[in-house]
Chains A and B, each alone.
Chain A
Amino acid sequence: NAGVTQTPKFQVLKTGQSMTLQCAQDMNHNSMYWYRQDPGMGLRLIYYSASEGTTDKGEVPNGYNVSRLNKREFSLRLESAAPSQTSVYFCASSDTRVQPQHFGDGTRLSIL
């Protein structure tokens, strides 16, 4: 039982490059989420998908796009990476009506 799997685990990009972060869950959860965490900070919601076929903006959506490919997969895309997007990105999933959210191990992204 893998839970929530994120790929890649580490990535270095140059400013202006594009990148897609992948997330897959095997718990049959309806809802999926993308967060970013900066040093000494809590997690900030970028986008979420309450159910397959729907996506909504979170607190910090600018510069990102998402795709809920199917019930299992939720990807996050940076079209033109900026140094301000250097962060650790966490994907999570949950049953819509029942806590908790289950998190992946994170993707550590550096943009030079």
Chain B
Amino acid sequence: GQSLEQPSEVTAVEGAIVQINCTYQTSGFYGLSWYQQHDGGAPTFLSYNALDGLEETGRFSSFLSRSDSYGYLLLQELQMKDSASYFCAVRQNQGGKLIFGQGTELSVKP
């Protein structure tokens, strides 16, 4: 079967750093993506890792270890507006087919 595992909820305080982990078991792997979704709205792309290592984009970073089938999203200098659901997704083929995890709801407290 195919599965992506990520924590269902994470809580952190404003200004802190939080890491959201994702482990995957899928048939076919071209890369790991992260998406953000506010209040059931349109998911928006955050980052993509095709190769092992760390990708940094502003306050957000994403890491991938293909040998461990593991990745994480790191959010720094948390702001209240970062409260949202975060989904990891495995890209399964060249056509861009994605398999999504069930999402992690991040709550940022003052």
Binding site for B on A (CB under 8 A): 4, 31, 33, 35, 37, 40-45, 48, 50-51, 56, 58-59, 88, 90, 94, 96-97, 99-106
Quick one: given A96-B96, A103-B44, are A42 and B33 in contact (CB under 8 Å)?
no
Main secondary structure of the interface of B (DSSP, over half): strand
Main secondary structure of the interface of A (DSSP, over half): strand
How many residues from B make CB contacts under 8 Å with A?
Answer: 24
Residue on A with the closest CB to B50? A99
Contacting B99 at CB < 8 Å: which of A59, A96, A99, A103? A59
The 9 sampled A-B contact pairs (Cβ below 8 Å) are A33-B98, A42-B100, A45-B97, A59-B99, A96-B94, A100-B35, A101-B45, A101-B96, A103-B44
Once the chains are docked, how many angstroms separate the CA of A103 from the CA of B99? 15
Is there a chain A Cβ closer than 8 Å to B72's Cβ? no
A88 partner residues in chain B, CB cutoff 8 A = 40
Q: Are A43 and B100 in contact (CB under 8 A)?
A: yes
Quick one: given A99-B31, A100-B48, A103-B42, are A45 and B98 in contact (CB under 8 Å)?
yes
Is there a chain A Cβ closer than 8 Å to B41's Cβ? yes
